[in-house]
Amino acid sequence: MVRRAVVAGQFYNGTAESLREQVRKYIDEKAKKEEVMGVLAPHAGFMFSGQVAGAVYSHIIFPDTFVILGPNHTGAGHPSAIMTKGKWQTPLGEVEIDSDLASKILANSKSLREDERAHSYEHSIEVQLPFLQYLGKDFKFVPICLSHLDSEACRDIGKAIAQAIKEEKKKVVIVASSDLTHYEPQEEANRKDKVALDAVIKLDPEGLINRVEELRISMCGVIPTTIMLMASKELGATKGELVKYMTSGDVIGDYRQVVGYGGILVK
């Protein structure tokens, strides 16, 4: 099965040449490359969040496989949906799913289900791929699409990912795809986003969920980020580092209702 790109020409340029040039503008060729276990990266249209996503991916030493956790914006399919076979297509070509790793993650988890429907029209995972295709060649990935889950399900999936990575003994980076505050004034978004980002930097998944609920932070990928942190800690991560933060207001100059974007490396 080939999962066709559904937001090419909308969230990012629709032809290979124009997309490659678009991504190139956001890549820092001089950035210091580091081994990381996880990252937080945004998933808006590239004109809005491309600078942050590009900054994140410019800093990482590429692994064999990425596990990409994205929120389910469409509501379709199972609330914790994994795909274990097939390829995903973008204008830059096809990326193969790491069936071995994906199958192990699925087998290790009580919560995950094989479900292509949740992925069919969801953009949060797809928009990561052009950056990875531009920067890396021979990599595979595992897509996991997540709705709102309780803490037990988050721990289950986090442990399932970590256990599978240990079993496979290959280099893997876990990507949490998330934007931050949605459609609030710049000052308020900055305040709320700092709280959320601080919890991620401290590798505090429970604190992240609690603060997001307490302050009503409209962070769409709080569940993917929570699971990324849990899995990374299980694998030995000890710290997070903020690479870049900005809002849509910083791009278009309208600060009345902005969306926040943060990029973090987990090491």
DSSP 31: P
Q: What is the pTM of this model?
A: 0.98
Look at the block and give the residue holding tokens 């490396």: 265
CA dist 240 → 37, 38, 203 (Å) = 10, 9, 7
By C-alpha distance, which of 232, 218, 230, 231 is closest to 265? 232
Burial of 137 (0-12, 13-18, 19+ CB in 10 A): exposed
pLDDT in single tens digits along all 267 residues of the chain: 999 999 999 999 999 999 999 999 999 999 999 999 999 999 999 999 999 999 999 999 999 999 999 999 999 999 999 999 999 999 999 999 999 999 999 999 999 999 999 999 999 999 999 999 999 878 999 999 999 999 999 999 999 999 999 999 899 999 999 999 999 999 999 999 999 999 999 999 999 999 999 999 999 999 999 999 999 999 999 999 999 999 999 999 999 999 999 999 999
Answer whether CATH 3.40.830.10 is correct for domain 2-266.
yes
Cα–Cα dist 46/69, whole Å: 19
- String of DSSP letters for 39-55: EEE--S-HHHHHHHHHH
pLDDT digits (tens, 9 = 90+) for 17-69: 999 999 999 999 999 999 999 999 999 999 999 999 999 999 999 999 999 99
